[in-house]
Structure 1
Amino acid sequence: MLMSEPRLDARAPGIWTVVLASSAGTIIEWYDFYLYGSLAVFFSTLFYPANDPTAAVLISVATFATGFVIRPFGAIVFGSLGDRLGRKHTFLLTLILMGISTTMVGFLPTYSSIGFVAPVALVLLRLVQGLAIGGEYGGAAVYVAEHAPENRRGFFTSFIQTTATVGFFVAILVVLACRLSLGEEAFRAWGWRIPFLLSAVLVLLSIYLRLKLSESPVFEQMRQAGKVSRAPVRESFGSGQGLRYALYALFGATAGLGCVWYTGQFYALYFLQSVLKVDFLTANICVAVALAIGTPLIVVSGALSDRIGRRPLIVTGLLLAAALYVPIYMGMAAATAVQNYVAVTALILAQLIFAALVYGPNAAFLVELFPARLRYTSLSLPYHIGTGIFGGFVPLISLSLVSYTGNIYSGLIYPIAVSVLTAIVNVFCLPKAAPAAASGEREAEPTAERQLA
């Protein structure tokens, strides 16, 4: 007999405590992960030889990308732990791992002090960060979803979806505050370390909040019934049915999601700084303002998906991005030429609207695609391949295309192509006997539970 998920009253304080503790920790993890991203162009002058500035920027951005390469491995390791041992303790462990690695970046000597040992150590710490974030997202998304009432799952899980954007926003704010308060010279000499060292304080606060949480009621029910998977990796990807769902999640959702998210936020920032030569402060302020305005739209999109389904919003966001990226970036170049940074900010915000449409419903979409006993593992791997590999390499691939072709808009070819591919797969390649929830219907447990259990 199949288990149904507990139905909780959304008005009770329990669900909001779950959302707050889960989101706070995940925000801090994304803050840690994206600190380097917000400083990648700046770090090119600290951790790499300065004799070729263009190469230094590309290598620095590539170092940012190494954190994404390791994320799928983190998804397998921690996803398997989460499905075998429980959600709570697994994503508590990822938080501690992230906090230690980020704090250590704040103590790293630069290239001028220890030569090539500096970038090697930086890459190693980025790999640890990627391993940690690979286990964090899936745990937080599953944990909230398994507490949320089924008819509001999109709304409550959308708060987890905001955490990456909020983490990036907080990282930019902290960097800007340090740079403006300390001045350029002090920030370059030692002030850049403060945002990384601050991570230790934030992580301790989040650990305190998470220790107050109990285990997911769905996992507890499975544990008591003896239904916990003993080999979640093999069960998730070792069967044809499980593999089909994982591939559908990757190519029908998360690959396009990653490209749309990283184009609208990181590539927009790097495009302003490296291609249009906008100064560091102005570029970061434009992105920060757009993030402040656009982030709540993720929650709006998640709530809307409870009414009209996940797939229509995801596909709409992907197609709008593919159709409008080129005119948006042409508009950014034109606005920059006349120093109209209000227009630049508005054009970045337009990209965040596309990201909100795709990203807001995605946690609920993925949770509902897989059975409870396997979902930590099953959703984490395609999510981190899609966002970490397809999305995380957007800045590197796009800036490399611009450098190679000399055409400042050629970098958009990659995110446009992946967005179109993902939309097509989402619409036309849904596996047979697909989960009812993925196609807009609502059940306590998705039909996938019946297909894969």
Structure 2
Amino acid sequence: MAQSGQPGGATPAFDKELSGSDVRLVIAASSVGTIFEWYDFFIYGTLAGLIGAAFFPSDNETLQLLLVWAGFAVGFGFRPLGAILFGFLGDRLGRKYTFLVTVTLMGVATAGVGLIPSAGTIGIAAPIIVILFRILQGLALGGEYGGAAIYVAEHAPPEKRGFYTSFIQASVVGGFVLSIAVVLGCRFLIPEDDFAAWGWRLPFLLSLVLLAVSLWMRLKLSESPVFVAMKAAGETAKNPFVESFTYPGNKWRIVVALFGVTGSLTTIWYTAFFSSLSFLKGPMRVDPLTTELLLFVGGLIAMPLYVVVGRWSDRVGRKKPIVIGQILSLVLLFPAFWFMGQMANPGLASSAETTPVAVAGPDCSYDPFADAQATDCGRLIEDLTVSGVPYSLSDAPALSLAAGSMMWTPADYPVGDVQARRAALQDRLTAAGYDFTTQDPGLGRILGILGALLLLSIMSALTYGPVAALLAEMFPPRIRYSSMSIPYHIGAGYFGGFLPLIASYIIARTGDAYAGLWYTWVFMLLGLIFAVIGLKSGPPRDFHDSELDAAGTGAAGGDMRTAGNDG
């Protein structure tokens, strides 16, 4: 496939289209590698409960879960650094070999997690090593997405770029689906006690097999034709990171990409998949196997949606699907979760309405990060939080709990035994009408939950499906790898990656299983504002320096006409 370089930062034009077999190889190899890397990253979140017990044991179940999500967030926190490092290498040395390095690093780090002895064996060294491997995973993932997305985008003719790159977007969901499929397979093959003791390590070790497959496929690829043309013309960037912030109009494009695109797409994505997983397993008490099957089926159905939206964006532009997804998220996020909760555990939802719990007492401070609460009231709030029961709080001289007409002064609260204390509380609330049994929904309720999950997936697909093509079109080819990776991984790494931790903390502090959704809602509103201002409507088009003008690169620091690159 011959391509001609063009001056001024334009994407080289295609002299002829890729053959069908070439297209399939480029998309398949890039997508398989992306599925593998996200599988490695998501398997940690899918097995959060067992990882907490192995590496972050605590009598405070809320603290144990928060520590797991903190480890999850650490990996995301290093993604921007990986984006800078591997973006630099990708713009200087090439797309292909850079993402060969990232996929290898990810595979080795993931397998390493499966080999770490538990905290009961090596003490504090266990969580420290886990965090170090999470850092390596974050660095690798910071370079993977940009490399795969750009590689496919630079092989795609402009009129099919959204369609071709949408397979990369769907592959992210594929990584999540694969992580659940492997966990389900292990659960079916390994007895429950054995899976909790050692079987959970097998999905991590499987990454070595997936690494071999991914490397075999990616080694068959040639370098991106756009990069080859730039290198031949001597137009590669000397310092892509610095140029990303000095290239005319690029700072504004990065701001729009960060707040108008990636900040919103990542928060709704993690809400649709990980918040749903935690919500159903945790406060809704749905059977873990049923929950994983629901997320697996929902993810499988959702994957084609990203391709449909990507292809649609080739006709209507990148802005329209993203803005529609943001608006739908603002309107339907809370109703979708309220409906899911009603379907998952109708008894808990009705009890919370008809028999609300009110706590009154002195020193009612609750610290979710404390290994043990200092006061009786703090311990009571902790137990309500772990039990998934919402509550209201007020000051009073003596500690009391009211559930509808039932009043309880827990003077004989068994302070020394956490499990006995929690059982005593749940026995009282059961008498008041609350249901703490594991939920195994019938077919009708399962279909209702699946419907809510698909609604969330549609919101995610609309905001995520066109994004690889959009980001590739927003930035000049010579600094494209760095420029698109930086905002993507800041948004995904910090706004999205810290979502499970921050949302869990909000829920723990308020006792409201739905309160953490406000974090997502705020980012969707912020994203909508920046998308409306910074992205232009109309059919997609390649980046070209001729679009820059004095008005677009003035004091505002941006190029309003090229920020969206679809106007």
User: Equivalent of 1:384, from 467, 489, 492?
Assistant: 489
Instruction: Check if 1:447 corresponds to 2:552.
Output: no
Work out whether residues 371 and 449 of structure 1, in 8 Å CA contact, stay in contact via their aligned partners in 2: no
Instruction: Map 1:21-420 to 2 at 5 A.
Output: 21-239=29-247, 241-338=249-346, 339=441, 340-420=445-525
- Which deviates more, 4-13 or 402-411? 4-13
Query: Residues 213-239 of structure 1: CA distance to partner in whole angstroms, max 9, x if unpaired?
Result: 110000000000000101100100135
- After TM superposition, give the deviation of residue 7 of structure 1 in Å: 4.8
SS in 2 for 1:44: helix
- After TM superposition, give the deviation of residue 50 of structure 1 in Å: 2.9
Distance 2:16 2:45 in 1: 38
Work out whether residues 75 and 384 of structure 1, in 8 Å CA contact, stay in contact via their aligned partners in 2: yes
Q: Partner of 2:413 in structure 1?
A: none
Q: Percent of aligned pairs with the same residue?
A: 46
User: Which residue identity is paired with 1:176?
Assistant: L
Q: Partner of 2:365 in structure 1?
A: none
Cα 1:442/1:321, change in 2 over 3 Å: closer
SS in 1 for 2:282: helix
Distance 1:46 1:61 in 2: 14
SS in 2 for 1:407: coil
Distance 2:291 2:338 in 1: 16
Query: Residues 86-116 of structure 1: CA distance to partner in whole angstroms, max 9, x if unpaired?
Result: 0000000001100110111111101111111
- After TM superposition, give the deviation of residue 41 of structure 1 in Å: 2.2
CA RMSD of aligned residues (A): 1.6
Work out whether residues 318 and 540 of structure 2, in 8 Å CA contact, stay in contact via their aligned partners in 1: no
Work out whether residues 323 and 463 of structure 2, in 8 Å CA contact, stay in contact via their aligned partners in 1: yes
Cα 1:350/1:128, change in 2 over 3 Å: same
SS in 2 for 1:353: helix
| Greater helix content | 1
Flag the structure with larger Rg.
2
Unaligned runs of 5+ in 1: 431-437
User: Which residue identity is paired with 1:411?
Assistant: G
Work out whether residues 260 and 355 of structure 1, in 8 Å CA contact, stay in contact via their aligned partners in 2: yes
Unaligned runs of 5+ in 2: 1-6, 347-440, 549-558, 563-567
Work out whether residues 71 and 132 of structure 1, in 8 Å CA contact, stay in contact via their aligned partners in 2: yes
- Which deviates more, 4-13 or 70-79? 4-13
Work out whether residues 99 and 143 of structure 2, in 8 Å CA contact, stay in contact via their aligned partners in 1: yes
- Which deviates more, 392-401 or 375-384? 392-401
How many residues align? The count is 445
Work out whether residues 316 and 539 of structure 2, in 8 Å CA contact, stay in contact via their aligned partners in 1: no
- Which deviates more, 37-46 or 135-144? 37-46
Work out whether residues 19 and 144 of structure 1, in 8 Å CA contact, stay in contact via their aligned partners in 2: yes
Distance 1:228 1:447 in 2: 16
- Which deviates more, 152-161 or 2-11? 2-11
- After TM superposition, give the deviation of residue 11 of structure 1 in Å: 4.9
Distance 2:545 2:255 in 1: 14
- Which deviates more, 323-332 or 139-148? 323-332
For normalisation by structure 1, the TM-score amounts to 0.95
User: Which residue identity is paired with 1:198?
Assistant: L
User: Which residue identity is paired with 1:197?
Assistant: L
Cα 1:449/1:186, change in 2 over 3 Å: farther
SS in 1 for 2:494: helix
For normalisation by structure 2, the TM-score amounts to 0.76
User: Which residue identity is paired with 1:120?
Assistant: I
